[in-house]
Structure 1
Amino acid sequence: MSTSAPAPTVTPTATTTAGSTGATPTSPPPAAPAPSATCFDTSMVGDTTVAGYLARLPGAARIVDPGIFMDLDGLHLDTTTDRRPCGPVTVRITRFTVRLSHTGSGTVTRPSYSYSPLDTAEVTVGPANGVAPGSAPPATSHCSGVLSVVQLGAPVKDTELPQRLDLVTPSPAPTGPYHQNVKVTGERQVAAGLALPADAATC
């Protein structure tokens, strides 16, 4: 009686030869790309939208701080990388002289002020954090400060100026010019700041 030879054993290998139709091992999926920083494309929207975006920018250090603001050095952009504009943004700074005085008599007085137009400048801010060149307010003088209003589009009108300035004197009393942020409410207004002389409290 004859017996059949056992079937040969085939050992699978990881290599394939040309013309092979067998299954090939699958390659691992490519690594996901590292997340990249995003930005806001201001070139695709109108002035009102850009102004709203800039006015709501959070500060880089704390979200409660503004990401764009005025001080004695000028207009600052200081926000997180993913919130910055994708390119430079041109804004208009309209400046007004603020003449300071006090009304009342004796020890009961209150500060008062009046505005007069000073000048208008266009400056570029962003995309990197820093101070916009040419945005610093002019020097203050005796009993005369400078209000700078940052806006997109047409210059600020008198009717759009803040109706009330809270003239808060720092403590201890300043020995030189100082600065206060001013709240703005106009549709295309972004920020405002008031540069004051050291003697503002005694005018």
Structure 2
Amino acid sequence: MGRIRCLLFDVGGVLERVDDDEWPVRFLERCAVRVGLTPEELDRRIASSTLPDSSIRSGVEEEYWAGFGAAIGADAATLAEIRRDFWDAYCGTANEVLLAEARSLVGRVGLAILSNSGDGAREEEERRYGFSRTFDPILYSHETGLNKPDPRAFEIALQALGADAAEVLFLDDREDDIEAARALGIRAHLHRDDESTLRVLREAVGTRDTLGGAL
């Protein structure tokens, strides 16, 4: 792999240590306990409600949570607890290994984020992790209106970066997103562990490992 001009990062499962398949299930189980419903009844109520799609719309966070609370019968205090729990689960913990590597490359290579998201994610992740100090642009689906693996999400990213597809390395933990990026000619690496991702990243940008050997 030759050197690249821009690194494009996913957030959940890459820059954040979180299992995006597992946490929503556990979160809803905790919600059910808080409001005295079975998980099945809670699922039924949410499915029958008319919540805005906060993954592709901005400015709807308060409307979403008001509708969510009404659907499951949560009072104001309980809903506030649920919202705090949601964002803690959503954001997980920082992947300090990859974040430190990204920070070390500021000024050497373009650093950007392309992430599926929920309305409110920008504020929560900025408060916790300060992404804007390292990454620009930060492209969230609730602001662009497009979820990966929609090819248009990647096209918007390329336009924002001012880069050709072959000049970008995309890092994501989901195979369908990786395949969508590659279909557009973007170089892409499926993140499974920090060590292998660091090797691919360093090879792409022409840095050296911590032992001084060229990767």
Q: Same fold (TM over 0.5)?
A: no
Select the structure that is richer in helix: 2
- Rg larger in structure: 1
Name the TM-score, length of structure 2 as normaliser.
0.22
TM-score scaled by structure 1? Answer: 0.22
The higher relative CO (CA closer than 8 Å, separation ≥ 6) is in 2
Larger strand proportion of the pair? 1
